[in-house]
Structure 1
């Protein structure tokens, strides 16, 4: 751009000199006299000042455009990073939803198992009560109809059965408590994730 303005100034200066250096007609009138050198110098100074102003405007505009381009590139990079972060956040959210669904399914399964175990324990307890009632009836029958030795053997047998049932009942209760603890932990994890 500087070179273009320099060429324009040279052409203008050359043209002014050619006008100044050309033959002057002598008509005897004041209006036909050549332009004084001083006016040419002033005109040249004005043209130079004008070209320098245009050059300064061009340079500052070019610098501003470069700065704007750099800012735009920086914003494009930021937008791309934000886009990637948004995609990653969506993927994480999807994974969290999948984990929550899995936990809910596991909790539903645990609750069903716990209910089944509780029902089975209630049934077992009922059977133990019924068995105790039968043992008492049997004891009453034995007291009246069977010898002491037979009574002792049957009592021992019934006692072993009762101990086995009590042990089994205790194991089932521990199993239910363990499942309840696991269910509670899963519910806590689900609540913290949501």
Structure 2
């Protein structure tokens, strides 16, 4: 990945694809939805109101199931799969609709099960030793806020906070505003927030 600097990352940090690394900050709104048989959990829109991504998950009575991140055209970008036997809420994320080990892009796990605030350590596929994380997520999900850092540093690469309007309250929708710093893969950031949401959602 690109090395952090005092103001961000020096070169594009692509995880899902270089087309999702912009040379400027990217603002996105993540709108949570009630899952149905034909629709997903989230719509992700840009500041013009255009759909950028969708998240779909099987309609199931179980808390955990694989989710799929799609682009606006409905193409499968990544598959997010929880490891049900993990004691640290571990997720693996694969390219496209694959779950083969050769298509692994990254994994994420909670640093401890006993946390008032959620901390996720994120490891890219080539970081097999996992001595040091490639990204770190610190979140207070009851307040719908999180900060994502480069590696184990204090360099912020993205921030999320909750934004509600009278319209969103009336419609029963939560809006999460995400700002992704320049040169950071914003599809990857959305995937991390999907994992964070699933870990913290009520049964």
Q: Normalised by the size of structure 1, how large is the TM-score?
A: 0.18
Greater RCO (Cα-Cα under 8 Å, separation 6 or more):
1
Which of the pair is proportionally richer in helix?
1
Q: State which structure, 1 or 2, has the greater radius of gyration over its C-alpha atoms.
A: 1
Q: Normalised by the size of structure 2, how large is the TM-score?
A: 0.17
